[in-house]
Structure 1
Amino acid sequence: MFPVESIRCYQCSSGQDSKGEDNCGAYEKFDQSKHIAVDCSSDESSTPGSFCMKVTQQSPKGFIWDGRWRQVIRRCASVSETGVTGVCNWGVYENGVYWEECYCSEDSCNGSYRSQSVSNSLLISSVFAMLTTYLWHTVA
């Protein structure tokens, strides 16, 4: 038999940070040197899984008294809603909170800031497509 290697992911939640701390990268860049990725098949993992997940939630401005609120959760995951990894899903809850879930399948991949660039690329692509469609219909 061949040994099965499991994926290693960062595990943290900004909701568990002490006041004034940002250990999970909600407001500052996530510092991978201060964290150790956990083996997703070990007892160390709060949720066992076969890939990594990063969840970001952000309130609209004025949602709370001191401005914007943001939360980041990094952990192992076993099932994505879409069934695929290497993608980010996003949306807005009824209360106006923006959410984004990114799934990946390489060791420590949920420690990157990549998901923000993916979202920005999707947003830019969507705006470009809508603008192109609008211009196409107004010229024709």
Structure 2
Amino acid sequence: MYGIVGFILLSTFIYTGQAVKCYQCSSDENPKGKDLCGAYGAFDETLHTPVNCMDDESFTPGTFCVKRTRQSPRFFIWDGRWRTVIRRCTAVSENGVTNACNWGVDENGVYWEDCYCTSNGCNGATSVVLSSATIAWSVVVGIGLSKLVF
């Protein structure tokens, strides 16, 4: 039993030689009157092609994807809120966790949300979905802890 679980866990971490592919865009670079990066509406994946994070076409090389959202507070410049979204590859997670979102409000009242993920095209989604490696690791740790406790 433990041999099978160990093999499954190990196989989720084997390097296959392929880099993750992420969408890359910034709402700050949108043409006037267009929302191509999904700041105010749904992100249209048909208008973008995920790039290989280890190729030259990637703005920033990395091993996972990020979607960064910033939004101004209410009543900012007579209630003219702004919102910006950036999608790209990244190599460093500011909170040290991937396949999760972290959010908060900075000292100026600007809402921020950073979502990190590790599957191809995952930063095109509105939410982050756990990978099979994360789920498998959680199951193994849960089984291991239950054996120690009981």
Common fold, TM-score beyond 0.5? yes
Any residues of structure 2 matched to 1:103-122 within 5 Å, and which? 103-114=116-127
Q: In 1, Cα distance between the equivalents of 2:61 and 2:114?
A: 17
The within-5 A match list for 1:56-67 is 56-65=69-78, 67=80
**Cα distance per residue 1:65-99 (max 9 Å; x no partner):** 46211000000010102222111111111111000
Please, which moves more after superposition, 78-87 or 37-46?
78-87
SS in 1 for 2:123: helix
Larger CA deviation: 15-24 vs 47-56: 15-24
**Partner amino acid, structure 1, of 2:87:** R
Consecutive unaligned residues of structure 2, counting only runs of 5 or more, are 1-14, 129-150
Structure 2 equivalent of residue 33 of structure 1: 46
Percent sequence identity over matched residues?
60
Inter-CA distance 19–62: structure 2 relative to 1 (3 Å threshold): farther
Q: Which runs of 5+ in 1 are unaligned?
A: 116-140
- Find out whether 1:53 has 2:66 as its counterpart: yes
Aligned with residue 102 of structure 2, among 80, 83, 89: 89
Whole-Å separation in 1 of the counterparts to 2:101 and 2:118: 13
Could you tell me how far apart the structure 2 residues matched to 1:109 and 1:23 are?
Answer: 17
Which stretch shifts more, 5-14 or 63-72? 63-72
Q: Runs of 4+ in structure 1 displaced over 3 angstroms?
A: none
- Partner of 1:41, secondary structure, is coil
Give the distance between the partners of 1:8 and 1:62, measured in 2 at CA.
38
Matched positions, count: 114
Aligned-partner residue type, residue 46 of structure 1: F
Aligned Cα root-mean-square deviation (Å): 1.5
Q: Normalising by the residue count of structure 1, what TM-score does the alignment of the two structures yield?
A: 0.77
Q: Give the aligned partner of residue 11 of structure 2.
A: none
What is the one-letter code of the residue matched to 1:33? T
Q: CA separation in 1, counterparts of 2:68 and 2:16? A: 31
SS at match of 2:18: coil
CA distance in 1, matches of 2:22, 2:123: 6
2:57 to 19, 44, 63: 44
